[in-house]
């Protein structure tokens, strides 16, 4: 198996990608017409906390018409936080077919990800501890566990 990060073109690709990052007003961005996905309030809240804690370091991806290709939840969170500019990478170099393929891949990306049974077990144990503390009237202690 070859590690693609050691290829000769990877540094150039990184530089080219970083050079494309621009800042956009979240209100200038729109949703793809056929994007059926949406985020729950809890997911948007999580995005807000992440943006606040880590200064929104991950750029979103947009097409030539400022439609959000990847990062819809982050844009919604940024709007709610009142952030005036967010980093974005425009996919202006892709053909229409390549852009369609990229969008389809992003839409289905979540289906390709597996779950870690060990991490789920750890999360469940934390939830059980929090539940027990809440039932015991110790919500202040439960709030500190995260």
pLDDT of residue 25: 92
pLDDT in tens, the chain (146 residues): 334 445 555 566 667 677 788 888 999 998 876 666 677 888 888 888 888 887 766 788 888 888 888 888 889 999 999 989 888 988 877 788 888 888 777 767 766 666 677 877 888 888 888 888 888 887 666 556 55
pLDDT of residue 125: 84
The C-alpha angle with vertex 17 and arms to 5 and 27, in degrees rounded to 5, equals 135
pLDDT of residue 101: 84
Nearest to 22 by CA among 85, 68, 95, 98: 85
| Tokens describing residue 121 | 């077990």
């Amino acid at each position: 198996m070859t590690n693609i990060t050691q290829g000769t073109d990877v540094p150039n690709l990184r530089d080219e990608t970083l050079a494309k990052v621009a800042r956009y007003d979240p209100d200038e961005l729109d949703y793809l017409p056929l994007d059926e996905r949406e985020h729950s309030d809890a997911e948007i809240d999580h995005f807000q906390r992440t943006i606040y804690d880590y200064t929104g370091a991950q750029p979103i991806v947009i097409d030539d018409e400022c439609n959000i290709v990847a990062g819809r939840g982050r844009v919604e969170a940024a709007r709610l936080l009142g952030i005036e500019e967010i980093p974005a990478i425009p996919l202006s170099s892709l053909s229409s077919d390549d852009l369609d393929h990229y969008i389809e891949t992003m839409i289905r990306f979540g289906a390709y990800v597996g779950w870690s049974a060990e991490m789920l077990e750890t999360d469940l144990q934390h939830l059980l501890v929090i539940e027990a503390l809440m039932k015991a009237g110790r919500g202040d202690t439960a709030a500190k566990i995260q």
